Structure 1
Amino acid sequence: MMNYLQTLKGLRVLVVDDNLDHLELIQFILEQYNVQVTAVTSAYEAFNVIKLLQANILICDIQMPVEDGYSLIRQIRNLTQKIKGIPAIALTTCTSDETRHLVLNAGFSTYLTKPFDPDELIAVLSNLVTEHIASCA
């Protein structure tokens, strides 16, 4: 935990999920590592917030009503250079190779299958942060 605390402290994460229980759980987990979390319940809200927030990471559910996570990440990837390069984790209940292919081709950096273990979320987030810092150096 201590290693992850250093890596994640002060990180700004935008979490998008239409399920309030999932949203609150993710927020609770991340806040244990001193992550600054902004939680929203729709792709529409996320798209508007991400332009102002200067988030370091996006965590987004794929299956949401009205507009799904695929649509959101495609819109984000068309924004300004600073925003469009944000590392993004997709959350999905599907485990198929087809879903993995769709998620990565849509523009997500990686994905987690629901339900996930909190330690797995933190490990994936930490790895993504470390990779992103290395690629920007």
Structure 2
Amino acid sequence: MTEGKPKRVLVVDDAALVRLYYRDALERAGYAVDEAMNGLEALEKLLVAPVDLLVVDVNMPQMDGFTFLRVLRRQDLPVASIPALVTTTEAGPQDRAAAREAGANFYLVKPVPQDVLTVYAGLLCGDAP
């Protein structure tokens, strides 16, 4: 990562253990991390404090990841263009297509190794070598 103010990542996942796992990897890589338990909470957080990257689960209560991305991408606000990395257990080609249609930049199947997560974070935040 570049020096200066750390890039901010919002991890959106209903599983506390997954959020902790991603937080650990991203903070060790130099990112500042915030968390949301679902898409609705993520939208609220983005209105208060925009981030540089979204790491989004698909299957969540109240608002799933695809709905969250579709709603976000339709906004006429700068937050609508925040890069999004979808991480999910759904691995079919139709799931990948649904992620693209919803507005995901990349799609990874869980479990996502921490080093893979940080490489994609770097690519999407412009920190890759």
TM-score in terms of structure 2 length: 0.91
Q: Percent identity?
A: 29
Corresponding residue of 2:78:
82
Deviation at 1:63, TM superposition (A): 0.7
How far does residue 129 in structure 1 lie from its aligned partner after superposition? 1.8
Q: List structure 1 segments (4+ residues) > 6 angstroms apart after TM superposition.
A: none
Q: Give the match's secondary structure for 1:74.
A: helix
Are 1:110 and 2:106 counterparts?
yes
Out of 37, 45, 57, the position equivalent to 1:49 is 45
Residue in 2 aligned with 1:98?
A: 94
SS in 2 for 1:51: helix
Q: Any unmatched runs of 5+ in structure 2?
A: none
In structure 1, what residue type is equivalent to 2:7? L
Distance 2:123 2:57 in 1: 19
Matched, 1:61 2:45: no
Deviations 1:77-131 (A, max 9, x none): 1223311111001111122111110101111111111001111101111111229
RMSD: 1.8
Q: Which deviates the most, 100-109 or 73-82? A: 73-82
Q: Distance in 2 between matches of 1:38 and 1:66?
A: 19
CA distance in 1, matches of 2:125, 2:9: 11
CA distance in structure 2 between the partners assigned to 1:88 and 1:26 by the alignment: 14
Secondary structure of 2:2 counterpart? helix
Counterpart position of 1:134: none
Asked if the contact 2:87–2:112 (Cα under 8 Å) also holds between the matched residues in 1, the reply is no
Q: Does 1:71 align with 2:67?
A: yes
**Relative contact order, higher structure (CA 8 A, sep 6+):** 2
Gaps of 5+ in 1: 132-137
- State the AA in 2 paired with 1:47: L
* Structure 1 position 128 matched with structure 2 position 124: yes
